[in-house]
Amino acid sequence: MRWTGGRRSSNVEDRRGMGGVVAGGGIGGVVLLLLALFFGFDPGAMLDTEPPVVPGGSQAPATSPGQDDLRDFVSVVLADTEDTWHEIFRSLGREYREPKLVLFTGSVQSACGMAGAAVGPFYCPSDHKLYLDLDFFRALRDRFRAPGDFAQAYVIAHEVGHHVQTLLGLTGDVTAARDSGDRTRASAMSVRVELQADCLAGVWAHHARQSRDILEEGDLEEALGAAAAIGDDRLQRESRGRVAPETFTHGSSRQRVQWFGRGFETGEVRRCDTSREAEL
């Protein structure tokens, strides 16, 4: 991805080195690791929301040279999503409000509750912020075998996709479905929301390529590789040795690749309406 000359976003909030204590720390490591596979889940629904340890304000963020490059990269990708979504929202007669992106290490307090790095990147609709531990990118490369800067950009764009859903009121009532105790319905609804976020990430990539020509050879494959790597079927097969589609939260590898691809090919938000599709 050609990003070094790009605009930096002013919406990055660096809270690295300021972590508190994760509430609900009794949850086993295995469970947390599994949670890491969920992009954009609502930590408030899964973790205790005890009052956090207030982070010390005087601590400097823990950074290393490589991480500063990464911070720069994140800031450019975020800026690019801002430019793209401002333009798209204008064309829809709407106004785009930019989300904040919080970088953290260890654990972080959001309006959706306290979350540890192991939960992976997530978006909190209550405070309109994206939360990202840069170590996740290392996991993406090593554990999920999805290397490349555009794989990372896809992760950010997916979380921004959740923000877009929130602004446009597209999320549906996943919480109500979850609260109803009907797990199959909640799972199906969650999959539709997540695939839509993948599609919206694709819409961003489409416009980023067209307007700013930032995609290089192989970038699309990196994003598709990441989408496939974090499909529920592949993750379940790897972690449990079997696949249970009725428990999917994000969709299969094939579905994730397909919906990202649909957004990327068309560049149109209306093509991302997963609620209208009988079959995903």
Of 17-25, 83-91, 195-203, 229-237, the segment contacting Zn ion by CB under 5 A is 195-203
Is there a contact between 236 and 173 (Cβ–Cβ < 8 Å)?
Answer: no
- Output 116 or 121, the one with its CB closest to Zn ion: 121
Least distance (Å) between residue 197 CB and Zn ion: 5
Distances from the Cα of 203 to the Cαs of 28, 151, 180, in angstroms? 37, 15, 33
Of 100-108, 188-196, 213-221, 239-247, the segment contacting Zn ion by CB under 5 A is 188-196
Q: Judged by CB under 5 A, how many residues of this single chain contact Zn ion?
A: 4
Q: Does 202 bind Zn ion (CB under 5 A)?
A: no
Least distance (Å) between residue 45 CB and Zn ion: 13
Side chain identity, residue 8: R
Longest dimension (CA), the chain: 53
Is there a contact between 226 and 154 (Cβ–Cβ < 8 Å)?
Answer: yes
Least distance (Å) between residue 39 CB and Zn ion: 4
Least distance (Å) between residue 165 CB and Zn ion: 9
- Output 103 or 193, the one with its CB closest to Zn ion: 193
Nearest-angstrom CA–CA distance, 83 and 280: 29
Selected binder of Zn ion within 9, 19, 39, 170 (CB under 5 A): 39
Nearest-angstrom CA–CA distance, 193 and 170: 8
Least distance (Å) between residue 75 CB and Zn ion: 21
Nearest-angstrom CA–CA distance, 34 and 27: 11
Question: What is the Cβ-side half-sphere exposure of residue 173, based on CA atoms within 13 angstroms?
Answer: 5
Q: Does 40 bind Zn ion (CB under 5 A)?
A: yes
- Output 18 or 230, the one with its CB closest to Zn ion: 230
Least distance (Å) between residue 129 CB and Zn ion: 14
- Output 194 or 233, the one with its CB closest to Zn ion: 194
Is there a contact between 53 and 20 (Cβ–Cβ < 8 Å)?
Answer: yes
Is there a contact between 55 and 19 (Cβ–Cβ < 8 Å)?
Answer: yes
Of 19-27, 144-152, 191-199, 256-264, the segment contacting Zn ion by CB under 5 A is 191-199
Of 138-146, 171-179, 189-197, 205-213, the segment contacting Zn ion by CB under 5 A is 189-197
Distances from the Cα of 59 to the Cαs of 11, 221, 267, in angstroms? 20, 40, 43
Terminal-to-terminal C-alpha distance of the chain: 30
Task: Report the residue number whose CB is nearest to Zn ion.
Answer: 40
Nearest-angstrom CA–CA distance, 127 and 150: 26
Of 22-30, 37-45, 53-61, 177-185, the segment contacting Zn ion by CB under 5 A is 37-45
Least distance (Å) between residue 162 CB and Zn ion: 6
- Other C-beta atoms within 10 Å of 236: how many? 19
- Output 6 or 262, the one with its CB closest to Zn ion: 262
Give residues in contact with Zn ion (CB under 5 A). 39-40, 194, 197
